[in-house]
Amino acid sequence: MYRVDKDADGRITKEEIKETICLSATTNKPSSIQQQAKEYTALIMEELDPEEIGFIMYLENQEAQRKLQLHMMDCQEEMNSNWMTHQGKWQRQLMEQQLAQGRQWNESFNMINQKQAQQ
């Protein structure tokens, strides 16, 4: 869309659409091109400018897309942060379980040693 927007104002006017159509036409009948360009321009504007404000605001779409991308990045960052938090909790729980098992093994080993010493 930015290629059609000749003055780079974020708006695509009927004239800019018509000029683009004329430039891209490959027929040798200039009067025919002009008429078809008017028809095509009218169809494009009817579809993309239903409120008939006279231009198409394509930067609004880019801004909405940029906002969506930023929101998705924020969500991903939050998910990563939550995952890291949970991973830290899981690791801590695993270490606590391993320490508890180690204490149990140590107690069992000490009891076996005490019984052998008593015999």
CA distance 29 to 42: 20
To which residue do tokens 């008593």 refer? 118
pLDDT digits (tens, 9 = 90+) for 62-118: 666 677 677 778 877 887 787 788 888 889 999 999 999 999 999 988 888 888 888
| Helix %, strand %, coil % of the chain (to 5) | 75, 5, 20
pTM equals: 0.37
Residue 57: beta bridge partners? Answer: 11
Tell me how far CA of residue 11 lies from CA of 45, 65, 83, in angstroms: 12, 17, 43
Phi, psi of 38 (to 5 degrees): -65, -45
Per-residue pLDDT at 95? 93
Mean per-residue pLDDT of the chain: 78
DSSP state of 57: E
Residue 12: beta bridge partners? Answer: 56
Q: Which helix (H) or strand (E) holds 12?
A: strand 11-13
pLDDT digits (tens, 9 = 90+) for 5-61: 777 777 788 888 888 777 766 555 566 666 777 788 888 888 778 888 887 776 656
